[in-house]
Amino acid sequence: MSKKKLITIVIVILLCTATYYGYQYYQHQEKPLTLYGNVDTRSVNIGFRVSGRLASLNVDEGDEIKEGQMLGKLDAGPYLDAMEQARANVASAKARLSLLEAGYRDEEISQGRAEVAQRLAAYNYANSFFQRQQKLWKQRLIPENTLEDARATRDQAQAALQSAKDRLTVFLNGNRPQQIEEAQSNVLQYEAAASQALRNVVDTTLFAPSDGVVLTRAVEPGTLLNAGATVLTLSLTKPVWVRAYVGETQLGKIVPGAEMRISTDSHPDTFYRGKVGFISPSAEFTPKNVETPDLRTDLVYRLRIIVIDPDDALRQGMPVTLHFTDDAK
């Protein structure tokens, strides 16, 4: 063998050795973590807090809605009538309370004094007449029945006088504190009923609780609804997150708050920013829809990845890829 061929063989051996060890080194290098998951959003069933007949519904399936947007109305007629009645009850209770707090009028007190004077005069006359009749009876000039009639007349006059005095005392002292407290309680009770009636009127209008998209329109105008019955199902546009799973060997590479890039199959060159918001404290068997074949029979930990900059291209259930790289930020 010539010297030239020997040198060539040595060079080839060295290149093969270098290639082998380079490949082994590459295989042992830590690769960026890549996970697979699905877009997830919140949905909410909304309805009226009160019962009634559905008068109108302003949105349909697929419509985008904004927070505070009016979505529908019930027939508010019965609730408006109840509100007016409640307000009338409040006015009546307040008037009653004012009368009790003000006490009796001067005219009523003057009438009470006049009645006492009248009853006193009647009593004095009846008592004087009785005393004269008593003297005549002692002289046996009148029968006993006449004396008893005079006595009864005097007692009746005395009772009438006492009743007039008691009535005047009531006029002078005013109403009892317990009566005023009862009237105050009635006012509070009727005011609470009026506030509830007003709330019921407000609740005959349905507003959007958040930005979202109408998924389901469950009823149509004219339907008689019970309180709390589902009228619409909304898919909320915020927050948007990704549900993903990670094996135990890779769990240490992920910490809450870690950021990553998110891509979709339909737009692989467009990346969204994501942040780890939740790591399940317990392991579970991997759901069948997980994309990674080698994880489907393993115990994994569920992740919730909050999408920082979502848009309309991210739809419920869409598969995505999570790229945990050093330049994810």
Q: What is the pLDDT of residues 151-172, one digit of tens each?
A: 898 889 889 888 888 777 777 6
3 state DSSP class of 278: strand
Kindly tell me if the per-residue pLDDT of 275 is higher than 70. yes
Pick from 11-25, 131-145, 174-188, 276-290: least confident: 11-25
Pick the closest to residue 200 from 281, 88, 83 (CA basis).
Answer: 83
Contacts 24+ apart (CB under 8 A), 143-149: none
Q: Which of 10-19, 88-97, 162-171 has the highest mean pLDDT?
A: 88-97
* Cα 228 versus chain centre, distance: 12
3 state DSSP class of 149: helix
Query: Quick one: 252 exposed, middle or buried, by C-beta within 10 A (0-12, 13-18, 19+)?
Result: exposed
Range 198-207 average pLDDT: 96
pLDDT digits (tens, 9 = 90+) for 208-228: 998 888 999 999 999 999 999
Confidence of residue 27 (pLDDT cuts 50, 70, 90): very low
Confidence of residue 4 (pLDDT cuts 50, 70, 90): low
Residue 310: cis peptide before it, omega within 30 degrees of 0: no
Range 169-185 average pLDDT: 76
DSSP 19: H
Kindly tell me if the per-residue pLDDT of 15 is higher than 60. yes
CATH of 43-75+202-233, one of 3.40.50.300, 3.30.2310.20, 3.30.1360.20, 2.40.50.100: 2.40.50.100
Please report where in the chains the tokens 């997980």 appear, as a residue: 290
Residues with Cβ within 8 Å of residue 138, at least 6 apart in sequence: none
Element (H, E) at 8: helix 3-28
Kindly tell me if the per-residue pLDDT of 10 is higher than 70. no
Confidence of residue 329 (pLDDT cuts 50, 70, 90): very low
Would you say the pTM of this structure is higher than 0.75? no
* Per-residue pLDDT at 207: 96
| Residue type present at position 282 | S
Pick from 107-116, 298-307, 315-324: least confident: 107-116
How far CA 298 is from CA of 33, 289, 305, in Å, comes to 18, 13, 21
Kindly tell me if the per-residue pLDDT of 327 is higher than 60. no
* Strand-by-strand arrangement of the 205-207 sheet: 205-207, 70-74, 52-57, 224-225
Question: Residues of 200-233 as b/e, b for ≥16 C-beta within 10 angstroms?
Answer: bbebbebebeeebbbeebebeeeeebeeeeebbb
43-75+202-233: same fold as 32-41+239-324? no
Range 37-66 average pLDDT: 92
* Per-residue pLDDT at 203: 96
Rounded CA-CA distance 197/83 in Å is 5
Rounded CA-CA distance 87/248 in Å is 65
CATH match of 32-41+239-324 with 3.30.910.20: no
Task: Give me the percent of the chain exceeding a pLDDT of 90.
Answer: 30
Question: Residues of 121-135 as b/e, b for ≥16 C-beta within 10 angstroms?
Answer: ebbeebbeebeebee
Mean pLDDT of the residues in the chain: 83
Q: Regarding predicted confidence, which is higher, 5 or 82?
A: 82
* Per-residue pLDDT at 224: 95
Kindly tell me if the per-residue pLDDT of 32 is higher than 80. no
Q: What share of the chain is helix, strand, coil (3-state, %, to 5)?
A: 45, 25, 30
Kindly tell me if the per-residue pLDDT of 3 is higher than 80. no
The domains of the chain are located at 32-41+239-324, 43-75+202-233, 84-198
* Per-residue pLDDT at 281: 82
Kindly tell me if the per-residue pLDDT of 39 is higher than 60. yes
pLDDT digits (tens, 9 = 90+) for 61-77: 989 999 999 999 999 99
Element (H, E) at 96: helix 77-102
